[in-house]
Amino acid sequence: MIEESVDMALRGSNVAFTLDLSPDLWAVDADEAQLVQVFSNILTNAREGMPQGGTIVVRAENVVESARHSEHAFSAEPGPYVRVSVVDGGIVDLSARLSSRWPSLRAAIAAKALGELATAAKGAGADLKFEDVELDPVIPNPDKILCIGLNYASHVGEVGRALPTVPSVFSRLHNTLVPHGGNIVRPRASIDFDYEGELAVVIGERCRHVPRASALSVVAGYTCFLDGSVRDFQKHSTTAGKNFPATGPLGPWLVTSDVIADPQRLELTTRLNGAVVQHDTTDHMIFDVASIIEYLSTVTWLEPGDIIATGTPDGVGAGRKPPLWMKDGDKVEVEISGIGILSANVVNE
């Protein structure tokens, strides 16, 4: 009965989880957000059928997401659990301290557990060295990646477009994401490979029709994003130009919204091989973060862990004469004050 309840509630999603009711085991497929929403509804019934002394554990077998903490900063690291926290001198392994209660950072966000992660990391000594950890994108498998185009007047001018009156929205696929320190892939189909440094928002709760006045309350935190753009294919369609695999670095970590109270007071810098190619402040956005959330939540449900890329300032390669394209061997960085530096290496497909 328990197995059937779980299976019916969570069927159709694509992340493998194990529901462990000692001494019995059931395997189910679940999306983390669905798991958080549904699992609490079945725990009571599950406990009623559990042998004396048994335990209930949810274990993610295909999820490689984790938490990284600097004050309240979280990110991803290989391993099946939300498990690491950054402190001076290294990384704290949170999995033992938290008994692997959440299978991923996305699940912890949905459970509103970021504060508990921070508390668990406070005062702890380092268990791992930085060089021993390989990061994944902050949220490797968001429900949605929504992007805003033409959101800085300076960028609108350099590409010769009219100022938008409403946010210009496009989406990205999950397989476009790249971790901090990873490889961003220039496709063999084009050399017109451009950079766009951006502030990314991570949504903290399921929401719809959020008014601008309270929009920042649904934000879990912020991170850096590089919107690698294939410009000639973008002329075919925005979807084509923005969705080549491994063209969207996201990271290095999540800085929670209690640390960044005002996302419109940040400084954004993009560097290509150490040279500054973009530099601006987020107060120059045409549509601020709160307005973007209000608009997007009117269009669709926003889910915990959803990524919103908020647009890029001027300085992109396409706006230069001659154009400046990323090529094999280049190193590209996006730095945002209060967050950190996202870096990626350009490689040919």
Domain CATH number, residue 189: 3.90.850.10
Q: At what angle do helices 2-10 and 32-48 cross, to 10 degrees?
A: 160
Specify if 223 maps to a domain: yes
Q: Are residues 8 and 155 in the same domain?
A: no
Mean pLDDT of the chain: 81
Q: Which of helix, strand or coil describes residue 205? A: coil
For residue 331, being part of any structural domain is answered with yes
Q: In the prediction, which pLDDT does 75 show?
A: 47
| Class of residue 88 by CB neighbours under 10 A (exposed 0-12, middle 13-18, buried 19+) | exposed
Residue 66 lies in a domain: no
Residue 247 and residue 307 in one domain: yes
What is the spatial distance between Cα 296 and Cα 148, in angstroms, rounded to a whole number? Answer: 10
In this predicted structure, what is the pLDDT of residue 86?
A: 63
Average pLDDT for 260-284: 98
Distance separating alpha carbons of residues 123 and 255, to the nearest angstrom? 18
20-24, 43-47, 214-218: which has the minimum mean pLDDT?
20-24
Judge whether 315 lies within some domain: yes
The number of folded domains in the chain is: 3
pLDDT (0 to 100) of residue 303: 98
Mark whether 318 and 218 lie in a shared domain.
Answer: yes
Question: 127 is in which domain, residue-wise?
Answer: 73-132
Same domain, 320 and 215: yes
Is position 221 within any domain?
yes
Q: Which helix (H) or strand (E) holds 22?
A: none
Residue 194's pLDDT is 98
The answer to whether residue 117 scores a pLDDT higher than 80 is yes
Q: Are residues 102 and 196 in the same domain?
A: no
- Residue 204 pLDDT exceeds 60: yes
User: What is the pLDDT confidence band of residue 87, given thresholds at 50, 70 and 90?
Assistant: low
pLDDT of residue 202: 98
Residues 196, 283, 343: CA angle, nearest 5 degrees: 30
User: Is residue 119 domain-resident?
Assistant: yes
Residue range 66-70: average pLDDT?
31
- The three-class DSSP label of residue 108 is helix
Write out pLDDT tens, residues 46-57.
444 433 333 333
Band (pLDDT 50/70/90 cuts) for residue 11 is very low
Q: What is the pTM of this model?
A: 0.78
Q: Are 77 and 31 within one domain?
A: no
Query: Which of 327 and 117 is assigned the larger pLDDT?
Result: 327
User: Does 190 share its domain with 119?
Assistant: no
